Amino acid sequence: MEDNISTSAAAILEGLNEALMDAKGHHVEGIRKSSVYTVQPREVREKLNMSQQEFSSAFGIPLATLRNWEQGRRQLDATANSYLKVISRFPNEVMTAQAF
């Protein structure tokens, strides 16, 4: 049956098989992976020694949103993740910018 499939279909099937092998923990030659570092909101807040209320007010994040992130009821989107990374590295600058 595989003799009757198109070149494109064969390439897709090969890619799916490689993905399956990778998912099972096997080494797949030539596969490239990337990972995205996800910030932990509680760690950022605690690093700054701030309460949830203080952090919320200082950085313009709704308190309910912050609580949902910290308690795992809501996942960070890419924008929130990036914003928290910036807060973690440059908290004073972000607070100053928020004052405008």
Q: Report percent pLDDT > 70 for the chain.
A: 96
Answer left, alpha or beta for residue 60, where phi above 0 means left and psi between -120 and 50 means alpha: left
Q: Could you tell me the pTM of the whole model?
A: 0.65
Give the span between the Cα atoms of 90 and 74, in whole angstroms.
24
The upper half-sphere exposure of residue 26, i.e. CA atoms within 13 Å in the direction of its Cβ, equals 8
Given this model, what pLDDT does residue 29 score? Answer: 87
State the chain's mean pLDDT as an integer. 90
For the segment 35-79, what is each residue's pLDDT rounded down to a tens digit? 677 899 999 999 999 999 999 999 999 999 999 999 999 999 999
> For residue 23, what pLDDT is reported?
86
More confident: 6 or 53: 53
| C-beta of residue 54 within 8 angstroms of C-beta of residue 46 | no
Residue identified by tokens 């279909």 is: 9
Query: What is the pLDDT at residue 100?
Result: 75
Integer CA distances (angstroms), 16 to 5, 20, 21, 87, in order: 15, 6, 9, 39
Where do the domains of the chain lie?
1-31, 41-98
Superfamily of chain region 41-98: lambda repressor-like DNA-binding domains (1.10.260.40)
| Residue 3 binned pLDDT confidence (cut-offs 50, 70, 90) | low
